[in-house]
Amino acid sequence: MTHARQHQIQVVAHRGASEDAPEHTLAAYKKAIEDGADALECDVRLTADGHLVCVHDRRVNRTSNGRGAVSALELAELAALDFGSRKNRDSWKNRAEEPDWEFRPEDPEDTSVLTLERLLELVADAGRRVEMAIETKHPTRWAGQVEERLLVLLKRFGLDAPASAADSPVRVMSFSARSLHRVRAASPTLPTVYLMQFVSPRLRDGRLPAGVHIAGPSIRIVRSHPAYVERLKRAGHQVHVWTVNEPQDVDLCVELGVDAIITNRPRAVLHQLGR
């Protein structure tokens, strides 16, 4: 099923075009921009020597050819690893169609550890508006420092203090209300997203933590409790749903009027939305 009015729904590339290229690599984000994604999603962690890198897990074991915790490794140690070596070659085994784009890294940088600084440079050079959804990972041994370093870096790119949340090309996401509070305290106009794996009883009426105006429920929540989206909207919040990969889930998000779809398959979702 395709739709004609989906320009209102933002398509966000989850860890880049991560079904086609290794997650959180420059290759994945280049592909997402090429595919027309409206925004890029990334997770950030702090290295032992204070650099923000785009890595989802606490440890690098799953996504690279190395081992160890990101927080215990320096950037130079991470840069020596290959983050493309563990790409899941079976990602299409349950799909009826074959991929029409084969992952072939053109440069070692494409599969090296990706710093947030490098990703922001890529977005700045994209030639069109590409937004960023940056997730702070918790718990972390660097409590508070992740947000502090993030805001310093955003300031270097002129992204830390938008005139209003609606004008901002960057939003900060977290499952931690405390993390979002730190961000809002330092930069009140920077939009924040409260991510949810389940709905807390005290938030079932559509409320979010103080100062947060974007809800980030999982697609599992949306499937099980579609009326929750209506409650969030009635409370004046935007709804950004993750991780939406299946066509029937895209249709559900359209039917419910969500504001953003976060997906590993930005090209396929854009096609389904008629874009």
- The number of helix segments (H) and strand segments (E) in the chain equals 9, 9
Active site residue 14: yes
Tokens for 63?
Answer: 């996504």
**pLDDT score recorded for residue 106:** 74
**pLDDT score recorded for residue 267:** 98
Q: Residue 245 domain-assigned?
A: yes
Q: Residue 238 domain-assigned?
A: yes
Tokens for 22?
Answer: 């290794």
Residues near 142 by Cβ (< 8 Å), separated by ≥ 6?
A: 46, 71
Closest of 59, 17, 6 to residue 267, by C-alpha = 17
- The CB density around residue 199, as the number of other CB atoms within 10 Å, is 18
Q: Quote the number of domains for the chain.
A: 1
Please give the sequence-ordered ranges of beta strands (E in DSSP) within the chain, or none if there are none: 10-14, 39-46, 52-53, 131-136, 170-174, 192-196, 214-217, 238-241, 260-263
Say what the pTM is.
0.92
Mean pLDDT per 10-residue interval, the chain, length 275 residues: 60 98 98 98 96 97 96 97 70 47 80 98 98 89 88 97 95 96 96 96 93 98 97 98 98 98 98 96
Active site residue 3: no
**pLDDT score recorded for residue 98:** 53
Tokens for 274?
Answer: 């008629």
Helix (H, G, I), strand (E, B) or coil at 147: helix
Domain of residue 195 covers 6-92+102-272
Q: Residue 128 domain-assigned?
A: yes
Q: Residue 14 domain-assigned?
A: yes
CATH number of the domain bearing residue 30: 3.20.20.190
Q: Residue 97 domain-assigned?
A: no
Amino acid identity for residue 34 in this structure: E
User: Among 24, 51, 56, 237, which one carries the catalytic annotation?
Assistant: 56
Residues near 209 by Cβ (< 8 Å), separated by ≥ 6?
A: 177, 180, 181, 194
Q: Residue 39 domain-assigned?
A: yes
**pLDDT score recorded for residue 85:** 75
Q: Residue 1 domain-assigned?
A: no
User: Among 14, 24, 237, 240, which one carries the catalytic annotation?
Assistant: 14
Q: Residue 44 domain-assigned?
A: yes
